[in-house]
Structure 1
């Protein structure tokens, strides 16, 4: 789009990569880049300060919305109390998890959407992640976000695979949609179809959508200008002003992308809350429910909390590695995250001790995997995953015969 070769094996040095890309970008004005982004359907966006974002029509719409919205899809199906679930499977558990028997279809990639499913799996839901060989994903992220799930591959452009998906959908309680707004509807599986199917089967669905820009509601007041634009965490962080706030904290008059996928995981947490609320309302009021959240909505919530006091910021700048504060607007998220992690390990080694981690063997990755233990505890309720992570497409597309790994069932630490 900006006149560079898509692959240049001679370009290996990190600084050379930055200089090559920046030189190409500088040939265009912001307006010209925006026109190219829209023409080529690319996920680029100008970097705005928080006050600039709030002056845009999109910012004004999002400011009027909460971080999560929950609306009814249909109101005719009867309540589906948790205790009436008749598909709890063949679990050998002798204790309770609050979402045992709940079946979740996860149609998401990368981090934010799959974090919703990862979180519900820790509460006992059977989460089946459905991806397609047509679509790329990042294997590194799958090691974490696929924990506790099954992961299968279906092509919803194929009649045979659509028939399989229809059978899965018939028994599902929750559907996650992490793709571009409208993409699932174009395939015939959007929220309107779920409402129709709920009426036919006599039992409601919970539909949860997460995307980059938000503002995809059904009312005119909740629809926003950039709702259909593509994006991921760093796009949202740059649009809403989070990147500018990161740069300001570092003493710079320029933006820097924040370290780690914080907005991704935060949005995933909001999506989990939306699913929980929808399931509770389905159980107590009946009907089907639609929850919506987005990376930009999470960022606006984060910014609404305000910055640390100046003295706290000064202490953080003094104690963290100087190398972190050498970062600039052009540094990649990988480089930013690497330097932040090095500094955190030096200052807070207790966070990385083995007692904070869980280990289990993954048949899918053919390796032992270690990840942080679940931080939440609820008296009398088990919280934890029943199966180790696996790569996308590892499992058959079925609700039957799901395994439970003994090295995952640490019940003394679950309560």
Structure 2
């Protein structure tokens, strides 16, 4: 089936395309179709998903045109492929085994005056949550104690106001957010700042000469991407750049735990290594990698990497002509800028959980759509920065935040007509052999005429690759 899916789809894509600073006439190259019932929600989640995949695909097609000298290829956005990709973390299997995306202590809790959402997937976040609430530190560390830990946290939260829990847990380095309505969030200082910001920002930092890209069939062929991101939006963006031909090397600190299961979803096409940037040897190796990099993508709290010389200004000084892409949960300014955050917490803080819930309890979006949508926007921002860099040079900076994507979803997007229930994720899944076993995963939704249909390599074991570029 071929359809424009109504003017609201074009509106969503056009809003994002304008935010990317692109030529609006290229939107005529995009068509839409396919079953569209895969992301049912009260908010226009399918609209967000279509729009973000559309602009990412179109940005890839635009850069392909620049590198081949041919007209911009046509882009096809298939709703079924888009929905399956937004659910990819839930659909991935290894030898038929699924994994739980949320730990037992990552959930909603009833507080004395409302609700609180916590995130405790990582052991250090769980430990900090328990410490902040006065729950014995060994609770929940063994499977037999999981129920006791849940009961203990429930009792601790139930006796306190939601905002008090939020502040206590964040003060301890954990993650907890009071569930707010849209109006409550809009009245906070952080909410006011987010509402004033554009969907994304793209800036030219200097007049560095551009490095001419050679002719290539894939838009990111020959480009080297340093991936300093963690679940989920940043890895989705770099997974997409890998699909489009980039040599993507993910770098993590060896002391920070990571989920192998999450990497099986978002590590497609990449390699993964660990480096301790606080160690002289690790820092030297990183600087050697940076010297050959074309793109650096970071997904840590604003300022968290500055001590390693990874602020945009410091990077531009050492490697002029980079494309630097930065992602945060709450935004790059304001009182919440240094807080840790995840999709589920942003949903709770910004009013989405209240809008998607019932009178009895908060709800959630049908997928971690803020993460996935922001990931495709981030990839689109990198692609557009590369295109503009080829035209006029300069070190480029792209910034996005989950809260700004949430604001776009709640306030600026309209539901698209033509939703139906013909969605079948199975049609958009494939299997391949991997170091972990037989891997089932969603196919990429980013598509244009002549473009790649799958990643060139499956993910491997997290953190086990050598910290060298693929061609080295």
Alignment of 1:139-178 (within 5 A): 139-178=260-299
The DSSP-based 3-state class of the residue aligned with 2:396 is strand
Report if the CA contact (8 A) 1:243-1:256 is conserved: yes
Taking a change above 3 Å as real, the CA distance of residues 369 and 239 of structure 1, as seen in their structure-2 partners, is same
Alignment of 1:70-81 (within 5 A): 70-74=202-206, 76-81=207-212
> After superposition, what is the alpha-carbon deviation per residue over 1:226-267, rounded to whole angstroms, capped at 9, x for unaligned?
1111111111111111111110xxx43542233432221112
Unaligned runs of 5+ in 1: 85-94, 217-222, 317-346, 403-415
Structure 1 residue 4 corresponds to structure 2 residue 78: no
Partner of 1:129: 250
Taking a change above 3 Å as real, the CA distance of residues 391 and 66 of structure 1, as seen in their structure-2 partners, is farther
> After superposition, what is the alpha-carbon deviation per residue over 1:66-87, rounded to whole angstroms, capped at 9, x for unaligned?
221111222x211223227xxx
Q: 2:446 aligns with which of 376, 381, 404?
A: 376
Q: 1:257 aligns with which of 361, 364, 374?
A: 364
Partner of 2:425: 351
> After superposition, what is the alpha-carbon deviation per residue over 1:11-32, rounded to whole angstroms, capped at 9, x for unaligned?
8598765443221112222343
The alignment covers a number of residue pairs equal to: 340
Report if the CA contact (8 A) 1:123-1:383 is conserved: no
* Distance (whole Å) between structure 2 residues aligned to residue 234 and residue 196 of structure 1: 36
* Distance (whole Å) between structure 2 residues aligned to residue 71 and residue 148 of structure 1: 28
Partner of 1:197: 318
Structure 1 residue 393 corresponds to structure 2 residue 463: yes
Partner of 2:51: none
* Distance (whole Å) between structure 2 residues aligned to residue 41 and residue 308 of structure 1: 38
Structure 1 residue 285 corresponds to structure 2 residue 392: yes
TM-score normalised over the length of structure 1: 0.76
Taking a change above 3 Å as real, the CA distance of residues 13 and 4 of structure 1, as seen in their structure-2 partners, is closer
Report if the CA contact (8 A) 1:213-1:296 is conserved: yes
> After superposition, what is the alpha-carbon deviation per residue over 1:364-411, rounded to whole angstroms, capped at 9, x for unaligned?
x2x121211122332233353111111221211111448xxxxxxxxx
The DSSP-based 3-state class of the residue aligned with 1:140 is helix
Structure 1 residue 208 corresponds to structure 2 residue 325: yes
* Distance (whole Å) between structure 2 residues aligned to residue 379 and residue 400 of structure 1: 27
Q: 2:353 aligns with which of 211, 234, 243?
A: 243
* Distance (whole Å) between structure 2 residues aligned to residue 253 and residue 308 of structure 1: 25
* Distance (whole Å) between structure 2 residues aligned to residue 11 and residue 78 of structure 1: 56
Q: 2:344 aligns with which of 234, 237, 249?
A: 234
RMSD: 2.6
Taking a change above 3 Å as real, the CA distance of residues 391 and 374 of structure 1, as seen in their structure-2 partners, is same
> After superposition, what is the alpha-carbon deviation per residue over 1:139-196, rounded to whole angstroms, capped at 9, x for unaligned?
2111010000011111111111111111100010110111111111112222111110
The DSSP-based 3-state class of the residue aligned with 2:133 is coil
Shift of 1:122: 0.9
Taking a change above 3 Å as real, the CA distance of residues 127 and 400 of structure 1, as seen in their structure-2 partners, is closer
Partner of 1:336: none
Taking a change above 3 Å as real, the CA distance of residues 97 and 384 of structure 1, as seen in their structure-2 partners, is farther
Partner of 1:66: 198
The DSSP-based 3-state class of the residue aligned with 1:117 is helix
Q: 2:334 aligns with which of 224, 241, 246?
A: 224
Shift of 1:42: 2.3
Taking a change above 3 Å as real, the CA distance of residues 239 and 49 of structure 1, as seen in their structure-2 partners, is same
Partner of 1:405: none
* Distance (whole Å) between structure 2 residues aligned to residue 78 and residue 308 of structure 1: 43
Structure 1 residue 275 corresponds to structure 2 residue 406: no
Taking a change above 3 Å as real, the CA distance of residues 253 and 51 of structure 1, as seen in their structure-2 partners, is farther
Taking a change above 3 Å as real, the CA distance of residues 161 and 144 of structure 1, as seen in their structure-2 partners, is same
Partner of 1:297: 404
The DSSP-based 3-state class of the residue aligned with 2:177 is coil
Report if the CA contact (8 A) 1:123-1:384 is conserved: no
Unaligned runs of 5+ in 2: 1-131
Report if the CA contact (8 A) 1:106-1:128 is conserved: yes
TM-score normalised over the length of structure 2: 0.67
Taking a change above 3 Å as real, the CA distance of residues 6 and 97 of structure 1, as seen in their structure-2 partners, is same
Report if the CA contact (8 A) 2:139-2:145 is conserved: no
